[in-house]
Amino acid sequence: MLKVLFSADSRDWDRYRDALLAAFAETGMQTDLARDHAADTVDYIVYAPGGTALDFTPFRRCKAVLSLWAGVETIVTNPTLTLPLARMVDPGMTAGMVEYVCGHVLRHHLGMDQDIRRQDAAWSPHVAPLAADRPVTVLGLGVLGSACAQALAGLGFPITGWSSTAKSIPGLRCLDGKDGLHHALKGAQIIVLLLPDTLATRDIMNAETLAMTAAGAFVINPGRGVLIDDAALLAALDSGHIAHATLDVFRTEPLPADHPYWAHPRVTVTPHIASETRARTAAQVIAENIRRGEAGLPFVNLVDRQRGY
């Protein structure tokens, strides 16, 4: 019987336990899922921050660490972790992110806030341009970014996608590298940030790059808080060059009560709810990776430690 260690906090245990047991049963695997297996008996680790597995050296029998999080920046640099590490690519999370991004892109594109907040009885019609006339740039073309970019393209927006390495996605203009970033941002009216947290992506939206966007552009960040230079964004908002920023992720979470974003009239703060793993679908991903490991097949969604994701 396979021993699977669940190394995450108690809230995650309550949320995932039954879903994992059901997913394991569906594969026909005999598993013993617990939070307290002895390290030298563990075959697989299901991981999220907050668990007991901090030093991976004693897990000599373990075949892989399977993260419940899409982001692995809290574990990938652990020097004791030499096992294969798989990040979470959950179809439920992808669907949720597509809905969040499309919802806020359409909100800004259509100028919905103007009417939602209207209380002055003023009859002042405003007509948005067609989607075809609103260029959107998506920074990050991983699973989430690609799905969002393709969904937006399906709504008629001209989409430019940018990634650190070259990608080719049907229906999208795909750019990469430093020069590609400048071309991707030039004239963009809506920018969606879905990059991972790496040394190369931190503060990728700074005073220089924000200035490359179209005047009156909108920024939507459901990716990572460190992607934005906060002081530069606030300055761009104050000047009017950026019309509005919808931010779901922050360098410090929860966002401190005295942070300028809370009171800024051109900022929407959402409390890191753009998307999350869904227990049922995430458990199926974990179970499938364990099934593959036991069948001698390569694990999927393995992390490239040099790239950090």
Would you call 291 a catalytic residue per the annotation?
no
Within 8 A by CB and 6+ apart from 253, the residues are 225, 272
DSSP SS3 for 60: coil
Q: Where are the alpha helices (DSSP H) in the chain?
A: 10-27, 91-110, 112-116, 143-154, 177-185, 207-212, 230-239, 260-263, 279-294
**Count of residues making up the chain:** 309
Within 8 A by CB and 6+ apart from 289, the residues are 64, 66, 86, 299, 300, 301
Q: At what angle do helices 91-110 and 279-294 cross, to 10 degrees?
A: 140
Closest to 217 measured CA to CA, from 203, 200, 204, 205? 205
Closest to 218 measured CA to CA, from 136, 156, 161, 163? 136
Catalytic residue among 15, 109, 134, 224: 224
DSSP SS3 for 33: strand
Give yes or no for a contact between 56 and 65, defined as CB atoms under 8 angstroms apart: yes
Residue in the structure block whose two tokens are 């047991």: 21
DSSP SS3 for 5: strand
Would you call 272 a catalytic residue per the annotation?
yes
Catalytic residue among 183, 241, 272, 292: 272
Active site residues: 224, 272
